[in-house]
Amino acid sequence: MRCPKCSGLDDKVIDSRGSREGSTIRRRRECLKCAHRFTTYEEIEHAGLMVVKRDGRREEFNKEKLLGSLKAACAKRPVPAAEIEALAVSIADRVTDQFDSEVPSQAVGELVMARLRELDKVAYVRFASIYRRFEETEDFLDAVKHLEAKRDTATFPLPGI
């Protein structure tokens, strides 16, 4: 690691702690050149998982893109940022546990909608409006009507979810 103060390359690890979920490791470091202490966070990288889009294109699964979508859906809503980040980690972990090399974008989208529905109903409708490509006001009204139902009949569980 490069020291943020002096740019020295030699440091020693003073303390290491894993997160509760086990997905990140916090390390407290001390630069051997200037004795400045700093913290780094290491995260397990799930390399190689590809998302298969509706049109057949493939792109690498990106947790940051997922987090951005969740933040956009929850914008100006009373949902703490930590809860949004925890949701992104939870969804990413579930997707990488269930799928080895490729995951259909529909599986990710349905999982996100199910979790957002539990978290915040307005965020759910916002995400669904983009995911399901709402074009008319009736589409929004249908989504709200399904929220009132005990089980969203328009959301069918996909195999493997």
Instruction: Work out the pLDDT band at 7, boundaries 50, 70, 90.
Output: very high
Instruction: For residue range 26-61, list pLDDT tens digits in order.
Output: 899 999 999 999 999 887 665 678 999 989 999 999
Q: Distance (Å, rounded) from C-alpha 61 to C-alpha 108?
A: 10
In the numeric block, which tokens belong to residue 24? Answer: 């990140």
Q: Is 11 left (phi over 0), alpha (psi -120 to 50) or beta?
A: beta
Instruction: For residue range 148-160, list pLDDT tens digits in order.
Output: 655 555 556 656 5
Q: Is the pLDDT of residue 64 over 60?
A: yes
Q: Distance (Å, rounded) from C-alpha 122 to C-alpha 39?
A: 36
Q: What is the pLDDT of residue 149?
A: 59
Q: Is the pLDDT of residue 68 over 90?
A: yes
Continuous H helices in 26-80: 63-73
Instruction: Work out the pLDDT band at 142, boundaries 50, 70, 90.
Output: confident
Q: What is the pLDDT of residue 48?
A: 76
Element (H, E) at 136: none
Q: DSSP class of residue 33?
A: T
When pLDDT is averaged across residues 132-141 and rounded to a whole number, the result is 70
Nearest 10 degrees: CA dihedral of 137, 141, 144, 145? -160
In the numeric block, which tokens belong to residue 1? Answer: 């690691």
Q: How far is CA 4 from the centre of its chain?
A: 28
Range of weakest confidence among 20-29, 62-71, 147-156? 147-156
Q: What is the pLDDT of residue 97?
A: 85
